[in-house]
Structure 1
Amino acid sequence: MRFHRLAGRVWLYPGDPDPLAVQAGVALVADDRGSVLVDAGQSPAHAREIRAALHAAGLPEPRWLVYTHHHWDHVWGACVWPGVEIVGHVSGRELLREEAARPWSHRYLREQVRANPRLAPSFRARALAVDSWDDFAVLPPTRTFTDEDDLPVGVRLRHVGGAHAPDSTVVLVPDSGVMLLGDCFYPPPAHLREPDDGPDLALVRRLLDDHYDWYVSSHAEPMTRAQARAQVDGA
Structure 2
Amino acid sequence: MKKFTDHIYYMENNPVTDQPYVYLIHGSKFNLQIDAGNSPENYYKFLLEVKDLGLKEPKLLAITHWHWDHTFGMVACNVPMIASVKTNTYLKKVKDWKWTEEAMQQRLKTGEDIQFCYDCMHKQYSDIGMIQVREADITFDSEIVFDLGDIHVKGIHIDTPHTRDAVLYYVEEEKVVIAADAEYEDYYDNNSQYDPARLVFFIQFLEELDFEYYLRGHDDFKLTKVEILNKLKAAM
Say yes or no: does 1:128 pair with 2:123: yes
- 1:36-55 map, 5 Å: 36-55=32-51
Say yes or no: does 1:206 pair with 2:205: yes
Which letter does structure 1 place at the counterpart of 2:166?
S
Deviations 1:122-164 (A, max 9, x none): 1121122123467643121111111111123221100112342
* 1:70 Cα deviation from its structure 2 partner: 0.7
Structure 2: stretches of 5+ with no match in the other structure? none
* 1:63 Cα deviation from its structure 2 partner: 1.0
Deviations 1:100-137 (A, max 9, x none): 12222445324434665973221121122123467643
Indicate conservation of the 8 Å contact 1:109/1:127, yes or no.
Answer: no
- 1:141-156 map, 5 Å: 141-153=136-148, 154-156=152-154
Specify whether residues 133 and 234 from structure 1 end up closer, same or farther in structure 2 by C-alpha distance, changes over 3 A only.
closer
Specify whether residues 7 and 112 from structure 1 end up closer, same or farther in structure 2 by C-alpha distance, changes over 3 A only.
same
Specify whether residues 151 and 51 from structure 1 end up closer, same or farther in structure 2 by C-alpha distance, changes over 3 A only.
same
Scaled by the length of structure 2, the TM-score of the pair is 0.84
Indicate conservation of the 8 Å contact 2:121/2:128, yes or no.
Answer: no
Aligned to 1:188: 186
Say yes or no: does 1:6 pair with 2:1: no
SS of aligned partner of 1:219? coil
Aligned to 1:225: 225
Alignment counterpart, residue 64 of structure 1, candidates 60, 67, 70: 60
Alignment counterpart, residue 90 of structure 1, candidates 80, 85, 109: 85
SS of aligned partner of 2:91? helix
Aligned to 2:18: 22
Percent of pairs with identical residues? 19
Deviations 1:183-215 (A, max 9, x none): 2232112x5443753793651442245742211
Indicate conservation of the 8 Å contact 2:186/2:193, yes or no.
Answer: no
Structure 1: stretches of 5+ with no match in the other structure? none
How many aligned positions are there? 229
Specify whether residues 117 and 96 from structure 1 end up closer, same or farther in structure 2 by C-alpha distance, changes over 3 A only.
closer
- CA–CA separation in structure 2 for the residues paired with 1:165 and 1:28: 23
SS of aligned partner of 2:159? coil
Deviations 1:8-58 (A, max 9, x none): 30111121245xx32211111012422111100011122222222121122
Specify whether residues 34 and 127 from structure 1 end up closer, same or farther in structure 2 by C-alpha distance, changes over 3 A only.
same
- CA–CA separation in structure 1 for the residues paired with 2:195 and 2:12: 23
Say yes or no: does 1:140 pair with 2:135: yes
Deviations 1:38-89 (A, max 9, x none): 100011122222222121122221111111011111000112221x111111
Scaled by the length of structure 1, the TM-score of the pair is 0.85
SS of aligned partner of 2:4? strand
RMSD over aligned Cα atoms: 2.6
